[in-house]
Every structure is written in C-alpha cells, then in structure tokens.
Amino acid sequence: MAKIKSRKTSFYGNEFDSKAEGEFYLLLREDKNVIDIELQPQYTLLSAFSVPCYRCEGNGKVENKKTLRLNKCTLCSGTGKRMRQPWKYTADFRVTYKDGKEEVIDVKGYANERFPLVKKMFESVMGIELVVWQKNNKKGWVRK
Ligand SMILES: [Zn+2]
C-alpha cells in the first residue's frame, strides 16, 4: 500500500490532519453563510453487536472431556456471545448555514480505498449526503 503523505497543520488553535483540511477550514470561516463549524463530528455507522460463541455454541458452557462436567466457557466468559465493536466514523466538519441547512463534510487530499464504503454506510444510516471536497492541483477545490 502506498504511503499517505499528510502533514499536520494548525489554524486558530485547531489541529488538522492534512494541509487540505486546514485550508478548507479557513474557507469555511470566511464563508458568510456559515454560522457554525463543528470539527471532527463522530457518527456510529454500525452499533456494537454479538455473534454466538463458536466454542460453546452459545451455551456459555463447555464439557470437560475427562470429568464430563460443564465448565464456564473461557472464550466468551460464559456469556455465550462474542462481542463485536461498533463501527465509528469521524467526519472532518459539520457545518450549519444561515438558512438552517446542515452539511457533513469530508475533505480528501488523497484517495483512500476504504472511503467509498464509509460514505455509502454514512449516507444509508444518516439519510443525508456525505459531502466530499477534494483539492486538485489544476482545478482547485472540486466537489465530488
Ligand atoms: Zn463460549
């Protein structure tokens, strides 16, 4: 996998993961239609969930082959379940405009293989577009 080159930048005491992100923040601050900018809003794309434990088949107990006694399953601590972590996503900005409209924005300085999946999931869960802006050397800022 190619190495991602991005330098941390800081504006108005806020640190940004990339130069493009910092520059976009400055544009938002200058925009007279913007009344609020939330940095790095977090969203849960998928809640935590569980699957049945394969070792005890969801019973929470396993039979000891020698004693034939049922012991607490050590893999799932006797719960019969294996927990899966929630899927969280942190966008770059949540912007509120004068007219009340809100936008969630991700600024891309580079292509990221996992991102299309994140975008699709976000839009399905939240029911709004995840707005993507990319800085292009020739054209400047391009809305994707
Ligand atoms: Zn188990």
Query: Residue 3 corresponds to which amino acid?
Result: K
Query: Span 17-29, mean pLDDT?
Result: 90
How much of the chain is in helix, strand and coil states, percent to nearest 5?
15, 40, 45
- Between the CA of 84 and the centroid of ligand 1 the distance, in Å, is 14
- Between the CA of 76 and the centroid of ligand 1 the distance, in Å, is 4
Q: Is residue 14 scored above 90 in pLDDT?
A: no
Q: Residue 2: pLDDT band by 50, 70, 90 thresholds?
A: very low
Question: How many angstroms separate the CA atoms of 127 and 142, rounded?
Answer: 23
Where are the domain boundaries for CATH 3.40.1350.10 in the chain? Answer: 9-47+87-143
Question: How many angstroms separate the CA atoms of 32 and 47, rounded?
Answer: 37
- Between the CA of 88 and the centroid of ligand 1 the distance, in Å, is 26
- Between the CA of 65 and the centroid of ligand 1 the distance, in Å, is 16
Residue-wise pLDDT tens digits, 33-53: 999 999 999 999 999 999 999
Q: β-strands 102-108, 130-136: how paired?
A: parallel
Contact predicate 88/48, CB 8 Å: no
- Between the CA of 26 and the centroid of ligand 1 the distance, in Å, is 52
CATH architecture of the region 9-47+87-143: 3-Layer(aba) Sandwich (3.40)
* Weakest mean pLDDT among 77-91, 114-128, 130-144: 130-144
- Between the CA of 74 and the centroid of ligand 1 the distance, in Å, is 6
Stronger pLDDT, 144 or 6, i.e. the higher one: 144
Stronger pLDDT, 59 or 139, i.e. the higher one: 59
- Between the CA of 79 and the centroid of ligand 1 the distance, in Å, is 7
Q: Residue 136: pLDDT band by 50, 70, 90 thresholds?
A: confident
* Weakest mean pLDDT among 3-17, 67-81, 96-110: 3-17
What pLDDT, on the 0 to 100 scale, is given for residue 5? 53
Query: Span 67-96, mean pLDDT?
Result: 96
What pLDDT, on the 0 to 100 scale, is given for residue 110? 64
Q: Is residue 3 scored above 90 in pLDDT?
A: no
- Between the CA of 50 and the centroid of ligand 1 the distance, in Å, is 12
What pLDDT, on the 0 to 100 scale, is given for residue 15? 82
- Between the CA of 47 and the centroid of ligand 1 the distance, in Å, is 21
